[in-house]
Amino acid sequence: MRVVVTNNYQEMSREAARIVARQILAKEDSVLGLPTGDTPTGMYEELVQLDNRRLIDFSKVITFNLDEYYGLPLDHPGSYHRYMREKLFDHVNIQEGSIHIPDGVAKDIEEECRRYEEEIYRYGGIDLQILGIGPNGHIGFNEPGSDWEMTTRLVKLSEETRRRESRYFRDPTEVPTQGITMGIKTIMKARKILLLASGKEKAKATTKALKGPVTKKVPASILQLHPMVTVVLDKEAGSLF
Ligand code: GLP
């Protein structure tokens, strides 16, 4: 595991964008696994700039998002569909058909999860999976206690996660109680993983995940067993290292 501690959020974002850019330059039809949240917004801004300066090209890139809320209209301001459009897809030349995000309002959710998982392998699997980490150590919506063997599925969100995510909603009661997420098994099958964390709030979770025992109580700790992980932190998230 390679750990890079940068001076601040902007440096973390630039370093992350460079890693993604190198992946796209090495393989133009790379399959990327993408996260949402506050952490990767700077990375997306950097990627948009690299694309607009024609240093990278998204036209053959395939993307699969990590997760989405269950039951939230796709154009709801809190949805990850909306987030991805606003932060990345509306600003780069990716093809519409190359974008994959779990459909949280699909009629048959079990079928949607199965289809999503199959679609990833139809494209040959994920080349680079980018991840954030929750303050409780979650990755995607795989909350503490999640089984390692799980693939894409419907999950219940912890109250802690719902409370935290309420910043994206007008009213805390609007935050869905469930989400669709790639499972830990799906994530671990990616060829390479890039984990990002920024801010004091993430220092404990990051240290537990990367230096503590591998335990279901800290879902991100499984990454210690992945052969190709790069972790990029800002100084605050890396302060307990
Ligand atoms: C959410 C998302 C995760 C994300 C995490 C951290 O729960 N489902 O995929 O990594 O929160 O979010 P943030 O980057 O805003 O701290």
> Which residue type occupies 107?
K
- Structure confidence at residue 72 (pLDDT): 95
The answer to whether residues 63 and 98 touch, using CB atoms and an 8 Å cutoff, is yes
Question: Is residue 138 annotated as a catalytic residue, yes or no?
Answer: yes
- Structure confidence at residue 66 (pLDDT): 98
What percent of the chain shows pLDDT beyond 70?
100
In terms of residues, how long is the chain?
241
In this predicted structure, the answer to whether residue 45 has a pLDDT above a threshold of 90 is yes
Mean of per-residue pLDDT scores for the chain? 97
Residues 6+ apart with CB under 8 A from 18: none
> Mean pLDDT over residues 184-211, rounded?
97
pLDDT, tens only, 113-125: 999 999 999 999 9
What is this structure's pTM? 0.97
For every residue of 65-132, DSSP letters joined together read ESEEESS--TTSTTSHHHHHHHHTGGGS---GGGEE---TT-SSHHHHHHHHHHHHHHTT--SEEEE-
Strands 192-197 and 229-233: parallel
51 C-alpha vs ligand 1 centroid, how far in Å?
25
67 lines ligand 1 (CB under 6 A): yes
Query: Is residue 18 within a helix (H) or strand (E), and if so which, with residue range?
Result: helix 9-26
In this predicted structure, the answer to whether residue 192 has a pLDDT above a threshold of 90 is yes
Instruction: Compute CA 176 distance to the chain's CA centroid, rounded to the nearest angstrom.
Output: 18
| Active-site position among 51, 68, 117, 143 | 143
102 lines ligand 1 (CB under 6 A): no
pLDDT, tens only, 74-110: 999 999 999 999 999 999 999 999 999 999 999 999 9
Residues 6+ apart with CB under 8 A from 148: 184, 185, 188, 216, 222
Q: Which two tokens stand for residue 207?
A: 């240290």
Burial annotation 181-205 (CB, 10 A radius, 16+ → b, else e): bbbbbbbbbbbbbbbbbbbeebbbb
Strands 153-156 and 99-100: unpaired
CA distances to 147, 172, 205 from 142, rounded to whole Å, are 9, 21, 14
63 lines ligand 1 (CB under 6 A): no
- Structure confidence at residue 241 (pLDDT): 83
